[in-house]
Amino acid sequence: MTNLTLDEKKALIRMALEAREQAYAPYSDFMVGAALRAEDGRIFTGCNVENSAFTPTSCAERTALFKAVAEGVTRFTDIAVVGARRGEVNKQITSPCGDCRQALFEFGGPELNVIMAKTPDDFIERSMDELLPFGFGPSNVAGNKAVEGGGGERIFCQNW
């Protein structure tokens, strides 16, 4: 669940807008940036990284998420997402694609706050539960050693 102030949300959106500038999007020309806030306050940014073979393409949200997980950070409260065609200001809300919703649900759960912004002053927010109702997460595979520690303690998920 988010505890961010309005100013903190605006700052997160600005970081997503900055990350968007690094987008590698020569095929779609649609540039996306994301800023993912961890429970401990650290922020990981990402941009979309396209590929000439298309399938290996990664979205901005998953780029940010995988950076964080690679750094050992697995609990998140908020993510800001922005997207627009190259050279344009953000005229539309860009929401996470289905793959990203699933990937984010794994670590953010239903309470992850998703900020979809045109600008720092023009955005909407939805919980992951609204974007991915009845999401499939770690609790769905309870009993799997990948999600439970030796003492029954869950390793990387919260309470969903």
Closest of 122, 54, 125 to residue 96, by C-alpha: 125
Contact letters for Zn ion, residues 79-98 (x by CB under 5 A): ------------------x-
Q: x/- binding map, residues 17-56, to Zn ion, per CB under 5 A?
A: ----------------------------------------
Report the alpha-carbon distance of residue 24 to residue 28 in Å, rounded. 10
d(CA 63, CA 20): 12
Does residue number 59 form part of the binding site for Zn ion (CB under 5 A)? yes
Q: Is 103 in the site for Zn ion (CB under 5 A)?
A: no
141 contributes a contact to Zn ion by CB under 5 A: no
Q: Shortest approach of Zn ion to residue 48 CB, angstroms?
A: 8
Does the footprint of Zn ion cover residue 116 (CB under 5 A)?
no
* Nearest residue to Zn ion on Cβ basis: 59
State phi, psi for 136 to the nearest 5 degrees: -90, 120
Q: Does 100 bind Zn ion (CB under 5 A)?
A: yes
Distance separating alpha carbons of residues 130 and 116, to the nearest angstrom: 13
Q: What is the 3-state secondary structure (H, E, C) of 23-49?
A: CECCCCCEEEEEEEEECCCCEEEEECE
Among residues 10 and 132, whose Cβ is nearest to Zn ion?
Answer: 132
> Has 61 been annotated as catalytic?
yes
The reply on whether position 114 binds Zn ion by CB under 5 A is: no
Neighbours of 71 (CB within 10 A): 11
Q: Which residues contact 51 (CB under 8 A, 6 or more apart)?
A: 57
Catalytic residue among 21, 61, 71, 130: 61
Give the shortest CB-155-to-Zn ion separation in angstroms: 25
Which residues form the catalytic set? 61
Question: Which spans of this chain sit near Zn ion (rule: CB under 5 A)?
Answer: 59, 97, 100
